[in-house]
Amino acid sequence: MHVETLGPYQFELSARQFIHNGGWAAFAAISTIDDGADAPVDVLPLQQVVDNAIFESEAAAIAAAHQVVIALLKRPYPPAKPNLT
């Protein structure tokens, strides 16, 4: 698992290997880091982010997950920070 922080967002990138063919799937989760919260708040729970894609290596799957997360955060309306009050 690879963890990165970008502004108020923390994202976890991971890969899982398929048993039947040895390929890799890309996974990601996004949470916010809020000074008032005890723990990060999930914005996007851990899920497969590139459907129907099989990557040749763990590194390639993590790189693909990174690209998806960056694309989501660059959208005109990035994932909202949940209101905890």
CA neighbours within 13 Å on the CB side: how many for 46? 10
Q: Does the residue 80 lie in any domain?
A: no
Number of domains in the chain: 1
Asked if residues 69 and 28 have their Cβ atoms less than 8 Å apart, the reply is yes
pLDDT by residue (tens digit) across 20-48?
888 999 999 999 877 676 777 888 899 99
Q: Does the residue 81 lie in any domain?
A: no
- C-alpha to C-alpha distances, 62 to 12, 55, 56, 77, 80, nearest whole angstrom: 10, 9, 11, 24, 24
Tell me the whole-structure pTM to 2 decimals.
0.81
Confidence of residue 82 (pLDDT cuts 50, 70, 90): low
Cross-strand partners of 76: none
The CA distance from 65 to 42, in Å, is 17
Q: Does the residue 59 lie in any domain?
A: yes
Please give the pLDDT value at position 31: 92
The CA distance from 78 to 66, in Å, is 15
Q: Does the residue 35 lie in any domain?
A: yes
Note down the domain range covering 7.
2-74
> What CATH number has the domain bearing residue 54?
3.30.160
